[in-house]
Chains A and B, each alone.
Chain A
Amino acid sequence: LAKTTQPISMDSYEGQEVNITCSHNNIATNDYITWYQQFPSQGPRFIIQGYKTKVTNEVASLFIPADRKSSTLSLPRVSLSDTAVYYCLVYSGGYNKLIFGAGTRLAVHP
């Protein structure tokens, strides 16, 4: 069972790039790394998913080193609306292994 470790909270300012790193030392061969974003009183929303190297979409980039024991979510030029909790998940589709963890609370300031 892959356990993830993320910083509890982070602070940033509008226009800056934010990098949130997640550690997953016990990641299994079949596991994918997935990040979700959650605003208060809403359900989580999928941001990005990757297996190795780098993945980029219109919202974020995900960097995964060769050993896959960590991953970094990169949010370019954050705005106030990016203030949310960000969750890192590592799983291969076994539903009883879905653990969201406490996530990282990102606060973006003016």
Chain B
Amino acid sequence: EADIYQTPRYLVIGTGKKITLECSQTMGHDKMYWYQQDPGMELHLIHYSYGVNSTEKGDLSSESTVSRIRTEHFPLTLESARPSHTSQYLCASSEYRGSGLGTDTQYFGPGTRLTVL
């Protein structure tokens, strides 16, 4: 079973506040991801990282930023939260399986449900 953690699980915050969503994994995976998912809707990739000091934007534009200073840690920051940022944020990590052995299996954390008032 994969070990990937997200904190907080739930967050209710006022408009304009700066927030950081934490994500940590203990598997030593190089690759990490952030997804955004509204209730009953699709998951959208918003950020990913190949390893330390590597960050890329995903297919959904997001006002959030990420950093990857340590392999196990991939925090997501919103400088000024707005009601439009209300959503569930899911963190995942994966390990490359090797050429011809299939694509990466992603392990997901439990998610952070963010509500901005």
Contacts and interface: CB of A to CB of B under 8 A. Distances in A.
Interface of A: 32, 34, 36, 41-46, 49, 51, 87, 91-93, 95-103
Contacts of A43: 90-92, 108-111
Contact of B111 (A41, A91, A95, A96): A41
Interface in B98-117: 102-111, 113
Contacts of A51: 102
A95 B42 contact: no
Contacts, number: 63
Contact of B45 (A42, A46, A95): A95
A99 B103 contact: no
Interface of B: 31, 33, 35, 41-45, 48, 56, 58-59, 88, 90-92, 96, 102-111, 113
Nearest to A105: B40
B102 A49 contact: yes
B42 A100 contact: yes
Contact of A91 (B48, B96, B103, B109): B103
Given A32-B103, A95-B33, A45 B43 contact: no
B50 to A, nearest CB: 8
